[in-house]
């Protein structure tokens, strides 16, 4: 039993070494391709030096690497298992009566744990860097100096009220969102849940404080009423500084732990949160997808090397991995178009990949 445990640990170590090597190769390719792409898209539109482009590349690369992590486990797994097969180590293990499930399932469990760690820890960090990338890229493409304010549209709401906010400029001061030239359109839901316009506020400046907007130099007018001026006014807000800035970001730029709040606030504001919900479900399903990719890698690498055709099987495994990736992207596109349920779009690709891997393994191992 101890020997079997050491053997399984050895196989898991070799697999994770292969995954690490594949991660290094994929990361290098992503950095190179992303740098060239930014040089063409940003470098030609703005006066940007090589150092700034490299910083933008480093901000963008982690999110792309995490997106391609299933390929990393597929390529790394195939490389590791093919290497063990060609050195006849797998043949010796199976000749000793050790089932392939004994050294495949622990590696798949390791991939699952890496997936959990990626979703819980690495994804929030990559999302934060991606948000900074989007902000810096937009700043360069807009040809505005660093720190310059930008126009903004925001929307917030609860069970009773909806508020649409437009500002001529926005910036952050000490982590606090500040809007200038602000217009607030306040709607109140009637008995049928339909928003009806109630009043409009014009303010010279609005600062987002904990739980409310602090308006200064305010002019307020209700429907059919004359305007009333005041030096300051407070309006209740369901947003915080981070949530407000997330309204300008894509779902990929919001970390896993903040997605539930982003979904709630988006729906309270009257918007569709399908993009955020799809992203959340895809992140939940990603550990299973990584495990499924490793099982697929093993299923296409167990053929005895002396029988030939091992390279062809490995190539077929890579092709199937690409098919699963595109199936995942296609399902997401169908979900965003409201053609496919979000839950099915997120979980169907990893489930299909996992069942395909188990089917091939059963056929290879048990005939």
Q: Based on the fold, state whether residues 89 and 183 are members of the same structural domain.
A: no
Domain presence at residue 152:
no
Residue 146 pLDDT: 43
Residue 148 pLDDT: 46
Residue 247 pLDDT: 55
Q: Report the CATH number that the domain containing residue 211 is assigned in CATH.
A: 2.60.450.10
- Tell me the chain's radius of gyration from C-alpha atoms: 26
Domain presence at residue 267:
no
Domain presence at residue 242:
no
Cβ–Cβ under 8 Å, residues 349 and 324 = yes
Q: Based on the fold, state whether residues 85 and 206 are members of the same structural domain.
A: no
Cβ–Cβ under 8 Å, residues 77 and 23 = no
Domains in the chain, number: 2
Residue 62 pLDDT: 93
Cβ–Cβ under 8 Å, residues 208 and 152 = no
Residue 52: both structure tokens together: 């700034």
Q: Based on the fold, state whether residues 83 and 172 are members of the same structural domain.
A: no
Q: Based on the fold, state whether residues 171 and 125 are members of the same structural domain.
A: no
Residue 100 has a CB neighbour count (10 Å cut-off) of 18
Of 251, 273, 278, the closest CA to residue 155 belongs to 273
Of 278, 256, 313, 283, the closest CA to residue 69 belongs to 283
Residue 280 pLDDT: 93
* Spans in the chain with pLDDT lower than 50: 1-3, 144-149, 306
State pLDDT tens for residues 267-285. 766 666 788 889 999 999 9
Cβ–Cβ under 8 Å, residues 196 and 227 = no
Residue 45 pLDDT: 62
Residue 311 pLDDT: 64
HSE toward the beta carbon, residue 309, CA cutoff 13 A: 7
End residue of a domain, out of 237, 257, 286? 237
Q: Based on the fold, state whether residues 170 and 310 are members of the same structural domain.
A: no
Q: Based on the fold, state whether residues 11 and 131 are members of the same structural domain.
A: yes
Domain presence at residue 98:
yes
State pLDDT tens for residues 40-82. 877 666 667 788 888 889 999 999 999 999 999 999 998 898 8
End residue of a domain, out of 237, 262, 284? 237
Q: Based on the fold, state whether residues 6 and 130 are members of the same structural domain.
A: yes
Of 346, 345, 296, the closest CA to residue 70 belongs to 296
Q: Based on the fold, state whether residues 174 and 280 are members of the same structural domain.
A: no
Q: Based on the fold, state whether residues 105 and 175 are members of the same structural domain.
A: no
Q: pTM of the entire structure? A: 0.75
Domain presence at residue 260:
no
Residue 270 pLDDT: 62
End residue of a domain, out of 216, 237, 258? 237
Range of the domain at 287: 2-142+274-366
Domain presence at residue 322:
yes
Q: Based on the fold, state whether residues 135 and 279 are members of the same structural domain.
A: yes
Domain presence at residue 361:
yes
Residue 7 pLDDT: 80
**What would the 3-class secondary structure string for 96-141 be?**
CCCCHHHHHHHHHHHHHHHHHHHHHHHHHHHHHHHHHHHHHHHHHH
Q: Based on the fold, state whether residues 10 and 137 are members of the same structural domain.
A: yes
Q: Based on the fold, state whether residues 136 and 280 are members of the same structural domain.
A: yes
Residue 322 has a CB neighbour count (10 Å cut-off) of 11
């Amino acid at each position: 039993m101890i020997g079997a445990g050491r053997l399984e640990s050895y196989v898991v170590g070799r697999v994770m070494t292969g995954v690490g090597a594949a991660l290094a190769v994929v990361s290098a390719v992503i950095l190179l391709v992303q740098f060239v792409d930014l040089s063409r898209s940003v470098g030609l539109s703005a006066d940007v030096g090589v150092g700034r482009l490299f910083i933008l590349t480093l901000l963008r690369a982690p999110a792309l690497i995490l997106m391609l992590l299933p390929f990393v486990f597929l390529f790394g797994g195939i490389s590791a298992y093919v290497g063990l097969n060609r050195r006849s180590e797998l043949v010796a293990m199976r000749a000793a009566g050790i089932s392939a499930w004994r050294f495949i399932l622990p590696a798949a469990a390791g991939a699952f744990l890496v997936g959990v760690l990626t979703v819980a820890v690495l994804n929030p960090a990559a999302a934060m860097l991606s948000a900074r990338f989007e902000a810096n890229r937009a700043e360069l493409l807009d040809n505005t100096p660093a720190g310059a304010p930008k126009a903004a549209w925001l929307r917030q709401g609860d069970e009773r009220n909806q508020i649409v906010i437009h500002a001529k400029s926005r910036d952050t001061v000490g982590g606090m969102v500040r809007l200038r030239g602000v217009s607030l359109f306040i709607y109140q839901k009637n008995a049928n849940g339909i928003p009806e316009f109630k009043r409009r506020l014009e303010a010279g400046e609005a600062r987002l404080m904990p739980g409310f907007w602090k308006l200064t130099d305010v002019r307020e007018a209700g429907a059919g009423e004359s305007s009333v001026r005041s030096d300051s006014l407070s309006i209740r807000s369901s947003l915080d500084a981070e949530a407000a800035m997330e309204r300008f970001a894509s779902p990929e730029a919001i970390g896993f732990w903040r997605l539930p709040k982003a979904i709630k606030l988006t729906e309270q504001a009257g918007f569709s949160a399908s993009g955020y919900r799809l992203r959340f479900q895809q992140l939940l399903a990603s550990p299973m997808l990584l495990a499924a990719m490793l099982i697929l890698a093993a299923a296409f690498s167990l053929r005895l090397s002396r029988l030939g055709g091992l390279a062809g099987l490995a190539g077929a495994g890579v092709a199937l991995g690409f098919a699963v990736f595109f199936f995942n992207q296609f399902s997401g596109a169908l979900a965003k178009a409201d053609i496919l349920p979000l839950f099915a779009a997120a979980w169907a690709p990893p489930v299909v990949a996992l069942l395909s891997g188990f089917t091939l393994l059963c056929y290879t191992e048990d005939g």
